[in-house]
């Protein structure tokens, strides 16, 4: 799968999923615009790509701020003429339930995770339509967007919105040659691996009995960004080790349950 002559803008390119996506797209031939709210994280991502022989620039900014979104995209267009692949990965969490979540915290998570994906998609799509170009938008969702989870009200709500926004946006843009799809990761990479006390519980939720690796998600994004998925739009690819396919107990735990019940 190649992305030669494509310009990809990836948001949230700090360590873990976002940076791996940016690096994977670059290895496939794309020129990459690395965005992060942390300017140094965006610059580090661009340097890592250039150090490996690729082409990239940083474009720092807050995807939840409409004025900054226009600037983020314009930097890529000023440098390369167009942006025809967008990956909406930027996200934040707030580990509180409905009773503890303050309005400001709710609005902050929705603004970055859902509104930010909308603003970035709208800006890139408008530029593509004006230029008469097709393109691909990939939204990063979450298993938390498919089901309820305690103490993650705003995050679950935002990611659920991302999933249906993807489908609606795909229908809006299909006649313009712009495909819109999503990837659903499960717990992935360093941000979860550092929680050693919780690792066994995480494994119990994943039938393939491991946490996701950033490469797992990046390869799915590469597929959706490339012509290999030319007939796919409005699709969600679940890169979750089977988490959403099970009703709650992964196969080993189910076998233990049967034995305990004498089945």
Hey, which residues are catalytic here? 155
- The closest of 196, 151, 166, 13 to 90, measured between CA atoms, is 13
Q: How many C-beta atoms lie closer than 10 Å to residue 238's C-beta?
A: 18
SS3 category, 183 = strand
Contacts of 254 (CB under 8 A, 6+ apart): none
Distance CA 177, CA 232 (A): 11
- The closest of 106, 85, 74 to 9, measured between CA atoms, is 85
Q: CB of 170 within 8 A of CB of 179? A: yes
């Amino acid at each position: 799968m190649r992305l030669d002559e494509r310009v990809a803008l990836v948001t949230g390119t700090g360590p873990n999923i976002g940076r791996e996506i940016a690096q994977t797209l670059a290895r496939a031939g794309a020129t990459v615009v690395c965005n992060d709210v942390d300017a140094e994280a965006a610059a580090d991502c661009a340097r890592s790509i250039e150090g490996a022989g690729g082409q990239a620039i940083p474009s720092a900014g807050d995807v939840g701020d409409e004025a900054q979104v226009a600037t983020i995209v314009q930097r890529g267009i000023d440098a390369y003429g167009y942006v025809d692949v967008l990956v909406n990965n930027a996200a934040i969490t707030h580990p509180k339930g409905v009773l503890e979540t303050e309005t400001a915290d709710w609005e902050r998570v929705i603004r970055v995770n859902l509104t930010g994906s909308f603003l970035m998609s709208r800006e890139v799509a408008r530029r593509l339509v004006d230029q008469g170009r097709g393109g691909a938008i990939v939204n990063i969702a979450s298993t938390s967007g498919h089901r309820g989870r305690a103490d993650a009200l705003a995050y679950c709500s935002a990611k659920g919105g991302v999933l249906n926004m993807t489908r609606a946006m795909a229908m809006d843009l299909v006649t313009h040659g712009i495909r819109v799809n999503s990837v659903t990761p499960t717990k992935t990479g360093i941000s979860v691996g550092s929680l050693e006390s919780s690792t066994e519980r995480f494994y119990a939720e994943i039938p393939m009995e491991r946490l996701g690796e950033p490469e797992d998600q990046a390869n799915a994004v590469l597929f959706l960004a490339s012509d290999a998925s030319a007939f796919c739009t409005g699709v969600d690819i679940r890169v979750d080790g089977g988490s959403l396919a099970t009703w709650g107990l992964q196969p080993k735990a189910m076998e233990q349950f049967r034995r305990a019940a004498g089945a």
